[in-house]
Structure 1
Amino acid sequence: MGTRFSKSASPYILNQPKTVTASPTSDSEAATTASNILLLAERLEQCMRRLQGCFLSADGKAMDYLGMKNSPQFVEFVNCAVELQQASLTPLSGVSNESLRKAFFINIYNLMTMHALIELSARDTGIPRSMLDVKDFWRSFEYKIGGLTFSLDDIEHGILRGNRPHPRDLWSRCYFNAKDERVPLALSQCDPRIHFCLNCGAQACPRVSVYSGTDTGSLESALNGAAKAFCAENIVLDGTRNEIHLSKIFQWYEQDFGSDRTGMLARVSGWLNDDKEVQLRALMSKEAKVIFVPYDWRVNSTSQAGA
């Protein structure tokens, strides 16, 4: 497949200050929350919920990017995102704040994806038809947060996967090097459920949701809900043919779910309903063939894709 978008000499900072229409957020509120990452995270969650309420499809899988880009809801979000540059990440640091950090960076990842696609829609080329049409999409756009920069890959692999290397990088032991200032923000362990929460803009991606880390129990419930919803839709069991059909996500990140194929399937079985779990384990005992379904990289836009 040809590439219609080239990577710029350096990543584009999406949340750099620019002249925008006044946001409904008051100046005093912005000043109060600009340096407080926890309050800013709550405002971003609110912005995300408003964007979803107006522009997310009923099944939670597609966005109206063209309708969103000139909306007051998007302007409000952009202004809030700009404030991330001045916020301190210290309140999110440390093992005791991992739930907050996990929810924050899941939301930032999904917001950045939307923001980047809208940025592309404003260019002459418009929204791509496929995420693979954009060269190095996941490294070409960044947010600056508290003086540090984060691309989508930085967030997924460096932070949320606990500083594990990109699946394509077979020779590295970690994503960030030991001297990287972002290393302290990496989660201490890789929670494989993040793969059911991150939406990279493709139609095969999980549903877009908002996550809050202020209540660990609520976050756990939301993560389990995302896992069960994704597995219900993306695991197909064929007892007649002795086959297990899985999303490519389980192939790319197999080591996040278990030490081997059997471990991965055993972990996944816990997110299936009782009948389907029994069926999966029966197929596993028969050494069923595992088939990874080709990923649908078409952009999850309800608007007409760029030509």
Structure 2
Amino acid sequence: MLPVSDGASVPVPPEEDAFRYSPTWESDDEHTDFAYSDFYTNAYSDLYINGHFTDYNNGVLRSETIDEHEEMPAKVCDIETGKIMEDPEDDQDGTLNPGAPKGEYTVSEYNEVLANLMKQLFHDILTDDNRKILYYKLPENKHYKAYIEQVKNLRAVKVSEASPQERLAFFVNVFNMLSIHTTQINGAPRNIWERRKLMNCSYYQIEDHRYAPHSILNGILRSNRKGLAALWKPFGKKDQRLPLILPQCEPLVHFALNTGTRSTPPIRAYTCNFVYDELRDNACKALESNHFLRFDTKNRVIYLGKILKWYEIDMGRSTEMVLEYILDLMSRTNSKKKRMLEDWLCDGNVKVDYMTHDWMFNGQMSETEEK
């Protein structure tokens, strides 16, 4: 058994958890209509008023319930008066892709268009090994403008007819673009509550259902597994999105999804036909960075990215299994890190520790902003 440093066994506090903003009021696996858990309302009672969480950016209170029937800001309350009011957004239905779609699409057809747009857009806005996003370039970028029009057509994509491989590529792309889209509109999350809002209260309408980043990650891509610190699975037994989840959790997504922080993996577009090869390639690039894997040769310590601790269950049920999974991912390469990991695991007598997650924003909102 590989030893893990003492610090690695300490429960992860909220500010140290990349997706801690996954809610405790996720959909129960017995019902789709459910009540809030009081876990967070007791811990953060100053931010919870009359059944709603404060949204200070808009000066309103919003319901954040995530569930097949409620995954949208259903009620909005003015902070000063406490009165229920109409949603102040222009999106009319609580989504970021309002409007009538043009035609119908299979997932393969739509993802081909989406991936091509993403490749052109990312060429213009990504820097630092495709891990930093130049948000200030988005408003005038022709590819981003084309994307904003194209995203309306998500409403007409036949996700229910797609294969698991097609859904994998499609939903990874949608997750990354949704996170960019909502950040461009609302700005960078400044605290845990704004991260929670991004994950749980930003929506695209896709075919017949709404999806937030949280429901894409934990519902679809992780095959309906509980989010970190969550009490329930994202989709209940009556949830009509349940048939769309992947047959099994796909751990490669943790090397592909934009976390909005400097510890994010490289960001790229994925195609339906080659998604597994593309995900493995991106995972290897992520592992070559010091945000996911590094070695202390003097003390024989292997340092892993914190996200590999948070989602250890997706890659194995022990640190040893995670290391074996990583070694398998790197098996097609002949990098120095791969050879070192192979040698150290063969020799034994190594220690594993986890790096601190770099929570600094991985974007630049203005051209004059300090780099």
Q: Same fold (TM over 0.5)?
A: yes
Report deviation, 1:204: 1.0
1:238 aligns to what?
Answer: 296
Report deviation, 1:71: 2.7
Correspondent of 1:294 among 356, 359, 369: 356
User: Which aligned runs of 4 or more in structure 1 are off by greater than 6 angstroms?
Assistant: 1-4
- On the 8 A contact 1:45/1:211 being kept in 2, the answer is yes
Report deviation, 1:49: 1.5
The 5 A counterparts of 1:49-88 are: 49-57=119-127, 59-88=129-158
1:168 aligns to what?
Answer: 229
- On the 8 A contact 2:189/2:195 being kept in 1, the answer is no
Aligned residues: 279
Residue 136 of structure 2 aligns to which amino acid in structure 1?
Answer: L
Question: TM-score normalised to the size of structure 2?
Answer: 0.69
2:255 aligns to what?
Answer: 196
Correspondent of 1:15 among 97, 100, 112: 97
- On the 8 A contact 2:221/2:249 being kept in 1, the answer is yes
Which sections of structure 2, spanning at least 5 residues, go unmatched?
A: 1-14, 16-46, 48-54, 64-71, 74-93
Please give the alpha-carbon distance, in whole angstroms, between the structure 1 residues aligned to 2:338 and 2:124.
36
1:208 corresponds to 2:262: no
1:152 aligns to what?
Answer: 213
1:27 aligns to what?
Answer: none
Correspondent of 1:128 among 178, 185, 188: 188
- On the 8 A contact 2:160/2:244 being kept in 1, the answer is no
Please give the alpha-carbon distance, in whole angstroms, between the structure 2 residues aligned to 1:134 and 1:88.
32
Please give the alpha-carbon distance, in whole angstroms, between the structure 2 residues aligned to 1:87 and 1:129.
30
1:140 corresponds to 2:198: no
1:303 aligns to what?
Answer: 365
Please give the alpha-carbon distance, in whole angstroms, between the structure 2 residues aligned to 1:189 and 1:117.
30
Percent identity between the two aligned chains: 23
Which sections of structure 1, spanning at least 5 residues, go unmatched?
A: 19-29, 121-126
- On the 8 A contact 1:141/1:151 being kept in 2, the answer is yes
SS of alignment partner, residue 354 of structure 2: strand
Report deviation, 1:103: 0.3
Q: Identify if the C-alpha distance between structure 1 residues 44 and 277 changes in structure 2 by more than 3 Å, giving closer, same or farther.
A: closer
Residue 258 of structure 2 aligns to which amino acid in structure 1?
Answer: N
Residue 340 of structure 2 aligns to which amino acid in structure 1?
Answer: Q
Structure showing greater radius of gyration is 2
Please give the alpha-carbon distance, in whole angstroms, between the structure 1 residues aligned to 2:57 and 2:319.
36
Q: Identify if the C-alpha distance between structure 1 residues 91 and 100 changes in structure 2 by more than 3 Å, giving closer, same or farther.
A: same
1:244-299: CA deviations, max 9, x gaps? 11111100100111121111111112234555344335544544332211112222
Please give the alpha-carbon distance, in whole angstroms, between the structure 1 residues aligned to 2:151 and 2:328.
37
Residue 40 of structure 1 aligns to which amino acid in structure 2?
Answer: Y
SS of alignment partner, residue 63 of structure 1: strand
1:110 aligns to what?
Answer: 176
Please give the alpha-carbon distance, in whole angstroms, between the structure 2 residues aligned to 1:74 and 1:38.
21
Please give the alpha-carbon distance, in whole angstroms, between the structure 2 residues aligned to 1:225 and 1:41.
19
- On the 8 A contact 1:4/1:134 being kept in 2, the answer is no
- On the 8 A contact 1:130/1:202 being kept in 2, the answer is no
1:276 aligns to what?
Answer: 337
1:123 aligns to what?
Answer: none
SS of alignment partner, residue 100 of structure 1: helix
The structure where helix makes up a greater share of residues is 1
Please give the alpha-carbon distance, in whole angstroms, between the structure 2 residues aligned to 1:69 and 1:186.
33
Correspondent of 2:317 among 259, 283, 290: 259
Q: Identify if the C-alpha distance between structure 1 residues 63 and 237 changes in structure 2 by more than 3 Å, giving closer, same or farther.
A: same
1:31 aligns to what?
Answer: 102
Q: Identify if the C-alpha distance between structure 1 residues 296 and 133 changes in structure 2 by more than 3 Å, giving closer, same or farther.
A: farther
Residue 181 of structure 1 aligns to which amino acid in structure 2?
Answer: Q
Question: TM-score normalised to the size of structure 1?
Answer: 0.82
Q: Identify if the C-alpha distance between structure 1 residues 35 and 279 changes in structure 2 by more than 3 Å, giving closer, same or farther.
A: closer
Alpha carbon RMSD of aligned pairs, Å? Answer: 2.6
